[in-house]
Amino acid sequence: MTLEIITSPLLDGVTHGFFTRRGGASSGVFEGLNGGLGSSDQSDIVAINRARAANALGIDATNLCAAYQIHSTDVVTVDGPQNGIVPNGDALVTDKPGLGLVILTADCQPVLFADREAGVIGAAHAGWRGAIDGVLEATLDAMERLGATRQNTVAVIGPSISQSSYEVGPEFLEDFMLEDSENARFFTNGRGDRYVFDLPAYGLHRLRNAGVTAAEWTRHCTYADPERFYSYRRSVHRKEADYGRLMSLIRL
């Protein structure tokens, strides 16, 4: 099966792709294009998957740059191949052509950034914790240090868990209300004392408040489409032992 790549017109002229799980070499619960070296999948199979994704975008697999994602606001500035050294962080930025920035997700938001005029790109992993703590703004700050401007930067949120599938408890709502009472608009009532949270809408809100004038979500729900996407939450509900990670890539 060939790889399936979702792209955005906002990023026209910049090589990028949000990969689905289709077309990979993994099997079992990881069936498809699992990019997660931290999963319990076979490491040599994951390496094949990552190389396939890189090659699909014309990136040499040795130029694929990643971070060990820890739900932080730490941003890695990449200026050359990593040579097997993967630093902690939840976003990457570069102004060097040929380097591919890769983010792994399985419900959290993969966000790709580009300032075409300045020749600067970024990629961020933004779950609810990273988003509320400011990982998106930190990515924009790091891009600015390389010469980008927020008014020229576009940002695209790739496949993420949608509101209808993201049920949370009252303590979750409290965290967001403490940050800003207007965050109530990203929640609606669920079952009993539960709520459902709109993570992509919150991500777009943070991006626009940070000065990004062109931003969108691709409107693909990871939880609702098991044929195309991995989902951490779905794996928990199914009591599966592990789950695959989707890859999102961008390069100059």
pLDDT per position as a tens digit, 21-48: 999 999 999 999 999 998 999 999 999 9
Q: How far apart are CA 184 and CA 243, in angstroms?
A: 31
Count of CB atoms situated within 10 Å of the CB of 134: 15
Identify the sign of the CA torsion 75, 197, 243, 30.
negative
CA contacts within 13 A on the Cβ side of 68: 7
Kindly report the pTM of this predicted structure: 0.97
Closest listed residue to residue 212, CA positions, set 162, 169, 154: 154
Per-residue confidence (pLDDT) for residue 84, from 0 to 100: 84
Report DSSP state, residue 58: T
Task: Write down the pLDDT at residue 8.
Answer: 98
Q: What per-residue confidence (pLDDT) applies to 157?
A: 98
- Provide the pLDDT for residue 178: 96
Rounded CA separation 16/156 (Å): 10
Report the CATH superfamily, name and number, of domain 5-162+198-251: CNF1/YfiH-like putative cysteine hydrolases (3.60.140.10)
Query: What pLDDT is stored for residue 174 in this prediction?
Result: 95
First to last CA, the chain: 27
pLDDT of residue 159: 98
pLDDT at 9: 98
Q: With a cut of 70, which residues of the chain have pLDDT below it?
A: none
pLDDT at 188: 97
